[in-house]
Amino acid sequence: MTYYAGNVEDDEGPAAFAWRIIGPDGQLVAEHAEHADAEATPPVFKGVPGGFVRVPSGEGAAGAYLLDVHGKRREVVKSRTALRARPGDLLVAEPEPNLIYRPATRSVATPAGVPDDAIHLAVDERGTVWSLVQHLSDDPDRVVRQRDGRTLGSEAVPKPYAGGVLTARGGVAALSLTRGEAVRGVMVTTDGGSHWRTVLGGGIAWTDFRRGPESLVLELLADGRLLVGEVGGRYWLADDPTDRTFHELDTPARFTSLTVDGTTLYGIADATTATYDLVKGEGLWISRDAGHEWRHVTSAGEEGGGRTASPDRT
């Protein structure tokens, strides 16, 4: 978990950021805090095998490093040469900069062979690079899939929609569909891109998506089920790996972030504006059964009870 503080209410002072690593048993493993530039972009970390990569902001790979699972900072190699994605590579930053992380060599690099007009990317564990290509003409956006520098195929985004966020895993890929500034559906393939379908209903209340594509949560569980939602709003999970119909998640608090690891969900409830006050259910919540039951990680670093657990501050 990462934290960032600018000022609280009328207080002024230097910004600060912090990170905290929680183990699979809910225990605190390590934490760190330091002053930061109030004008700087808050740090972001991406979970990778063996730890967490610090995602650099701006151009290039400067600023990237690895926190191992014990919280020790380790150097990563910044390749000056673009690399073709291969199985095991992970996309850690996009759209600017586009960076892949290679666990075998603990290195980061820009992916080679990506179309010049690609605006969003996804890389799956097979080494397939999925890119959303946006043309300057009236031609529709297209999803292009490549492996080892070779184009495997592409699919046009249905009009009148534009493409948005991409995610891919295990032969499943999904692209959010926008109209104007609003998310209004998804385009999904469950067979590696051979066949696509458009989901404009499926039990999801698309008209409730009001905050724009930047607030969209679009993730895939390890079993192929798609998670769709909006930060601070509602979330829906596919009923099965066909990703045709969805049910709304019953969350114990209003999550300001929700992420997936395997089939485990991690949600954080926190204030969205600077305040000294607690919010309802504040802290980290974990569901190991895809949202049926949630457990609250207390400030002591232990998992508390279920939905009725007291919202201790973390």
pLDDT at res. 13: 59
Residue 111 near residue 81, CB atoms below 8 Å: no
Q: Where are the alpha helices (DSSP H) in 109-256?
A: none
Mean pLDDT of 205-216: 88
Residue 92 near residue 66, CB atoms below 8 Å: no
Report the amino acid identity of residue 101. Y
pTM of the model: 0.87
**Residue 182 belongs to what H/E stretch?**
strand 182-189
Segment 132-155, tens digit of pLDDT: 998 877 889 999 999 988 999 999
Token readout for 227 is: 């998670």
Segment 58-106, tens digit of pLDDT: 666 678 899 999 999 999 999 888 999 999 999 998 877 889 999 999 9
